[in-house]
DNA sequence: CCGTTAACCTGAGAGC
DNA sequence: TGCTCTCAGGTTAACG
């Protein structure tokens, strides 16, 4: 489900609820996630205190007081639910996936604290948890990833180095986490629309002014999405009334056949499958030749 | 090395 | 009501 903004919001929710708290117990109902949950996962996390919670790209990072770190990827459908013991309903203010009442059969991991527990629910099981026994190993894991759009490393020189001479289209690169990390299928389409660059545009043909736009609008779109609480697909609304609202600002994503929102443009948004993922764009605003 | 495809899963929604 | 089909915010092994 989530791209950088949504993961950022989940991280912020987790900070409010479980930062500086001690994990008392872990129950794994189904460890068959994208990667199998490590056998020693429970024993390592039990009785550790969560010192800090951060995020890199689409990963949530829990730093524990026993030198271990736990990274969490939500895949397509991973969500966290807060379960106060006294109340019967699951509170889903940590969740961004469709219904707030997901079937319990997908409640795979239960993490207990003194007064409540949080539950990891993931119908498709593309998410995963992974632990590292040192900061160095944690950092090494992230060395495989490109900079986030916000990073100073994501600059014109970097784009030129990576993209010159390349035949692969630019949409593909925006989704390539080794090139830039944190962008997913929704924001890739949104960013390219604002850049007025066709998703099929050959990366090697991009010029300096294209690079500038990609850098500028990547940051702008992701920042605004974070400000809006991320994007929430469908009519999801949780018991506390919290849901992301960036979907209201989609210019192209999920707007097939609708009128282009650019001023004076009468074009209709096209949906096209590029490299097995849907892309949305306006043929008039995002010409292939320019 | 490069780029593309299929695969990993379940559930929602469309069409019949 | 129910069946079948397609699609979904991600990643990556395997292939040509």
Give the CATH number, domain containing residue A186.
Answer: 1.10.8.50
The reply to whether A276 falls in a domain is: yes
Last residue of a domain, one of A86, A107, A141: A141
Q: Mark residues 111-130 of chain A whose C-beta is closer than 7 A to nucleic acid strand C.
A: 124, 126
- Pair (A130, A222) in one structural domain: no
Residue by residue, what is the 3-state secondary structure of A33-81?
CCCECCCCHHHHHCCCEEEEEEEECCEEEEEECCCCEEEEECCCCCEEE
For strand B, which nucleotides have at least one atom less than 7 Å from a protein CB?
A: 2-13
Q: Let me know if residue A151 belongs to a domain.
A: no
pLDDT at residue A109 tops 70: yes
> Please, are residues A58 and A8 in contact by the beta-carbon 8 Å criterion?
no
| Residue A74 CA distance to nucleotide B14 C1' (Å) | 28
Please indicate, yes or no, if residue A153 is contained in any of the structural domains: no
Q: Which nucleotides of C are covered by protein (CB under 7 A)?
A: 7-12
**Do A14 and A124 have their domain in common?**
yes
Lookup: nucleotide whose C1' is closest to A73 CA: C10
- Would the Cβ of A234 be found within 7 angstroms of any atom in strand B? yes
In this prediction, residue A239 carries a pLDDT of 39
- Is A93 in the same domain as A212? no
Q: Check if residue A99 sits with its Cβ under 7 angstroms from strand B.
A: yes
Closest CA to A275 of A180, A188, A179, A205: A188
Could you tell me if A164 and A135 lie in one domain? no
Q: Are residues A171 and A132 in the same domain?
A: no
Looking at the predicted structure, is the pLDDT value of residue A89 above 70? no
Is the residue at A128 inside a domain?
Answer: yes
Shared-domain flag, residues A163 and A257:
yes
A136-157 confidence digits (pLDDT tens): 999 999 999 999 999 999 999 9
Å: A116 CA to C2 C1'? 41
Tell me if the pTM is above 0.85.
Answer: yes
Overall average pLDDT of the A171-182 stretch:
96
User: Do the beta carbons of residue A260 and residue A279 sit within 8 Å?
Assistant: no
Minimal CA–CA distance to A21: which of A60, A55, A70, A62? A62
For A231-273, what is each residue's pLDDT tens digit? 877 544 443 446 788 888 999 999 999 999 999 898 999 999 9
Residue A190 placed within a domain = yes
CATH code, domain carrying A54: 3.20.190.10
Q: Same domain, yes or no, for A171 and A278? A: yes
DSSP chain A: ---HHHHHHHHHHHHHHHTTPBP-EEEES--BSSSBPPTTHHHHHTT-BEEEEEEETTEEEEEETTS-EEEEE-TTT-EEEEEETT-SSPB-TT--SS-SS--GGGEEEEEE-SSEEEEEE-SS---EEEEESSHHHHHHHHTTSPPPTTSTTSSHHHHHHHHTT--SBHHHHHH-TTTSSS--HHHHHHHHHHHT--TT-BGGG--HHHHHHHHHHHHHHHHHHHHTT----TT---TT-----GGGG-SSTT-TTSBP-STT---BEEEEEETTEEEEEETTTS-S--
Give chain A's domain count: 2
What domain range includes position A111?
4-141
Residues A189 and A238 in one domain: yes
Boundary of a domain, candidates A96, A112, A141: A141
Which residue among the candidates A2, A5, A149, A199 is catalytic per the annotation? A2
Give distance CA A208 / C1' B11 (Å).
44
Claim to verify: residue A239 and residue A124 sit in the same structural domain: no
């Amino acid at each position: 489900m989530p791209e950088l903004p949504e993961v950022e919001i989940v991280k912020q929710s987790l900070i409010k609820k479980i930062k500086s708290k001690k994990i008392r117990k872990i129950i794994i109902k189904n460890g068959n996630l994208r990667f199998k949950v490590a056998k020693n996962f429970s024993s390592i996390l039990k009785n550790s205190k969560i010192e800090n919670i951060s995020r890199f790209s689409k990963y949530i990072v829990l730093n524990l007081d026993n030198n271990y770190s736990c990274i969490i990827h939500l895949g397509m459908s991973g969500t966290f639910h807060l379960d106060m013991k006294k109340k019967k309903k699951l509170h889903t203010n940590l969740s961004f996936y469709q219904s707030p009442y997901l079937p319990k059969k997908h409640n795979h991991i239960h993490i207990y604290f003194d007064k409540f527990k949080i539950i990891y629910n993931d119908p498709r099981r593309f998410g995963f948890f992974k632990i590292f026994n040192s900061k160095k190993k944690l950092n090494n894991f992230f060395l495989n990833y490109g900079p986030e759009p916000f990073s100073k490393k994501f600059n014109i020189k970097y784009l030129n180095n990576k993209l010159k001479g390349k035949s692969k289209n630019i949409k593909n690169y925006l989704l390539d986490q080794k090139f830039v990390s944190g962008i997913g299928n929704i924001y890739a389409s949104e960013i390219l629309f604002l850049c007025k660059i066709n998703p099929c545009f050959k990366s090697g043909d991009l010029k300096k002014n294209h690079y500038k736009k990609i850098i500028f609008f990547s940051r702008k779109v992701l920042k605004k999405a974070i400000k809006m609480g991320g994007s929430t697909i469908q009519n999801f609304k949780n018991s506390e009334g919290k849901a992301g609202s960036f979907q209201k600002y989609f210019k192209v994503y999920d707007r097939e056949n609708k009128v282009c929102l650019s001023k004076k443009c009468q074009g209709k948004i096209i949906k096209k499958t590029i490299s097995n993922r849907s892309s949305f764009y306006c043929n008039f605003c995002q010409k292939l030749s320019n």
